[in-house]
A = this chain, B = another copy of it.
């Protein structure tokens, strides 16, 4: 059984990006520049954004943190988006979610210039990805593709069952793995809350991507011997014996499933750490591309 180590892979990718930035600097080129918009003072959001900004600094990107009051109007936020769209020294930016309830998230996301949408949440990017054009792929599916590719997990002609049909994980990963190309050419089934006899499906699968959000849902009896397992679930489960009062669980009952698996991502330390690396990668791509 091979553990797909997201922490190590993420570090490798960051080093690769850092090297490319060093080269750009040596050539006198402008380095990639990422901005992050944070509305309000939610603790988790602050942590995420802080970590993104620090990663930018680490690889040599320029970064800008735009902190806005919780009470900002939708109109004022849209004006801020417009400024960022027009800022030619900015390659990409993200708007940290969730936004306060008085702001329509969809409206904000649709206002982001797809050419700067390094989170890959804009429909124009989703469509470009699905139609095999250059596109910003959302960080989680992009990270999964990188893990599959770098660990050379066989996918061509394999049956992959994706459990979950969300816009940012299940749906995009199902498309990417079914397209031609590295980590692609799989026969992909998308299962979800309405699926009947899920275990019958997963038992046939050569690869299972769990993106359901139910801790330890996938048990050993649902898995074929030798399957590759990708676990996207990250749920806090109360655990009084732990100093923090909780532990992080994936959608996979790790120990029992790992015993049957050919490849498996741990939680934490699997898919999760890949996301910031892929955000940096998208920002580098934004600097390099000139999307129409």
- Contact surface of A with B, Cβ cutoff 8 Å: 106-107, 110, 122-128, 130-133, 135, 156-157, 165, 167, 171, 174-175, 178-179, 185-192, 194-196, 201, 292
Contacts and interface: CB of A to CB of B under 8 A. Distances in A.
Nearest to A185: B194
A194 B156 CA distance: 7
Nearest to A107: B292
Contacts of A196: 157, 187
Given A123-B135, A127-B128, A186-B194, 16 more contacts: A110-B292, A123-B126, A123-B127, A125-B127, A126-B130, A127-B127, A130-B171, A156-B194, A157-B194, A165-B179, A174-B190, A185-B192, A187-B189, A187-B190, A187-B196, A189-B190
Does more than half of chain A's interface fall in helix, strand or loop, or is it mixed? Answer: mixed
Contacts of A201: 187
A195 to B, nearest CB: 4
Contacts of A123: 124, 126-128, 130-131, 133, 135
Given A157-B195, A187-B195, A195-B157, A167 B132 contact: yes
A215 to B, nearest CB: 23
Contacts of A178: 165, 190, 192
A70 B179 CA distance: 34
Nearest to A111: B292
A190 B128 CA distance: 19
A187 B179 contact: no
A135 B126 CA distance: 13
A29 to B, nearest CB: 27
Contact of A187 (B127, B135, B156, B191): B191
21 contacts: A122-B127, A123-B127, A123-B128, A123-B131, A123-B133, A123-B135, A124-B127, A126-B126, A126-B127, A126-B131, A127-B128, A127-B130, A130-B130, A130-B167, A131-B167, A157-B194, A157-B195, A157-B196, A187-B194, A187-B195, A189-B190
A24 to B, nearest CB: 28
Nearest to A114: B124
Most interface-central of A131, A175, A185, A292 (chain B CB within 10 A): A131
Nearest to A189: B189
A156 B178 CA distance: 23
The 10 tightest CB contacts between A and B, nearest first, are: A123-B127, A127-B127, A126-B127, A189-B189, A185-B194, A187-B195, A123-B128, A124-B124, A157-B194, A157-B196
Contacts of A179: 165
A89 B135 CA distance: 33
